[in-house]
């Protein structure tokens, strides 16, 4: 397997965000592109990251290949070339990382990831919303001031994010448009803060 990204910034940012939830990953490469499916150690959050083959300037993958890597080590290496092109190549049990026109290169040992391979779930959602990413991030931060959990409410008054503690509360309306169905769901702000960085 040998792949190249002309601009590595988006990939590096994604790896940094993923590393806040898990310490090691299995990256799967096939004809469609790169896919990472992982679950955090507490089984509270699943992450799914895809990068299509068309996003790469060079994408040479024979049969499907899955590699395991320590994110602590991978992040340290990726920090050395954020503004440059990035190439990844596997040879036996090693991952070769090249920045620029092979001016910098690193070699990382691959690892066996214990446990069964995570499958991409087939999820069906009752509602899909599109909201401004920066406003969503700000709302998450606003609510984190008063509590460690957040309630998403969708209904006649729109889409509202609420958080409460015994003494304080916060509420942010992200959409004013009313919805006929009333839906409520509570989430951990710790996880949402980490995931919102990807927006």
Summarize pLDDT for 19-37 with one digit per residue, the tens: 999 999 999 999 999 999 9
Residues 189 and 156 placed together within one structural domain of the fold: yes
115 assigned to some structural domain: no
Residues 89 and 150 placed together within one structural domain of the fold: no
pLDDT of res. 1:
94
Residues 98 and 139 placed together within one structural domain of the fold: no
Q: How far apart are the first and last CA of the chain?
A: 29
Residues with pLDDT less than 50, the chain? none
Residues 29 and 102 placed together within one structural domain of the fold: yes
Q: What is the CATH number of the domain that holds 41?
A: 3.10.150.10
Q: How far is CA 55 from the centre of its chain?
A: 17
Q: In the chain, count of helices (H) and strands (E)?
A: 4, 13
Final residue of a domain: which of 74, 94, 109? 109
8 assigned to some structural domain: yes
118 assigned to some structural domain: no
Long-range CB contacts (within 8 A, 24+) of 49-52: 49/14, 49/18, 51/11, 51/14
CB atoms within 10 A of CB 1: 18
Residues 99 and 174 placed together within one structural domain of the fold: no
123 assigned to some structural domain: no
Residues 100 and 137 placed together within one structural domain of the fold: no
Beta bridge partners of 170: 163
- Report the candidate in 112, 119, 113 with the shortest Cα–Cα distance to residue 46: 119
89 assigned to some structural domain: yes
Residues 103 and 48 placed together within one structural domain of the fold: yes
Residues 97 and 47 placed together within one structural domain of the fold: yes
Collapse the DSSP code of 182 into the 3-class scheme (helix H, G, I; strand E, B; otherwise coil) and give the result: coil
Burial of 181 (0-12, 13-18, 19+ CB in 10 A): exposed
Burial of 180 (0-12, 13-18, 19+ CB in 10 A): exposed
- Residue numbers of the domain that contains 179: 133-196
CA distance 108 to 178: 52
pLDDT of res. 53:
97
- What are the structure tokens assigned to 159, written together? 């889409």
191 assigned to some structural domain: yes
170 assigned to some structural domain: yes
Residues 45 and 92 placed together within one structural domain of the fold: yes
- The count of domains in the chain is 2
CA distance 61 to 134: 36
Contact in structure between 190 and 197 (CB atoms under 8 Å): no
46 assigned to some structural domain: yes
pLDDT of res. 148:
95
pLDDT of res. 21:
92
């Amino acid at each position: 397997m040998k792949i190249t990204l002309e601009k590595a910034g988006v990939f590096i940012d994604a790896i940094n965000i993923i590393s806040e939830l898990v310490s090691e990953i299995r990256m799967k490469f096939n004809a469609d592109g790169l896919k990472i499916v992982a679950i955090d150690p507490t089984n509270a959050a699943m992450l799914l990251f895809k990068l299509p083959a068309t996003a790469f300037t060079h994408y040479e993958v024979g049969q499907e290949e899955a590699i395991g890597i320590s994110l602590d080590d991978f992040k340290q290496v990726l920090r050395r070339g954020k503004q440059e092109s990035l190439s990844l190549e596997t040879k036996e049990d090693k991952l070769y990382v090249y920045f620029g026109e092979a001016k910098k290169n690193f070699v990382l040992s691959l690892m066996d990831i214990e446990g069964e391979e995570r499958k991409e779930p087939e999820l069906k959602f009752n509602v899909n919303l599109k909201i401004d990413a920066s406003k969503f991030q700000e709302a998450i931060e606003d609510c984190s001031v008063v509590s460690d959990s957040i309630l998403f409410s969708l209904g006649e008054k729109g889409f509202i994010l609420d958080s409460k503690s015994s003494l304080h509360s916060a509420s942010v309306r992200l959409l004013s448009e009313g919805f006929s169905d009333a839906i409520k769901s509570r989430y951990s702000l710790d996880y949402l803060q980490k995931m919102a960085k990807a927006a």
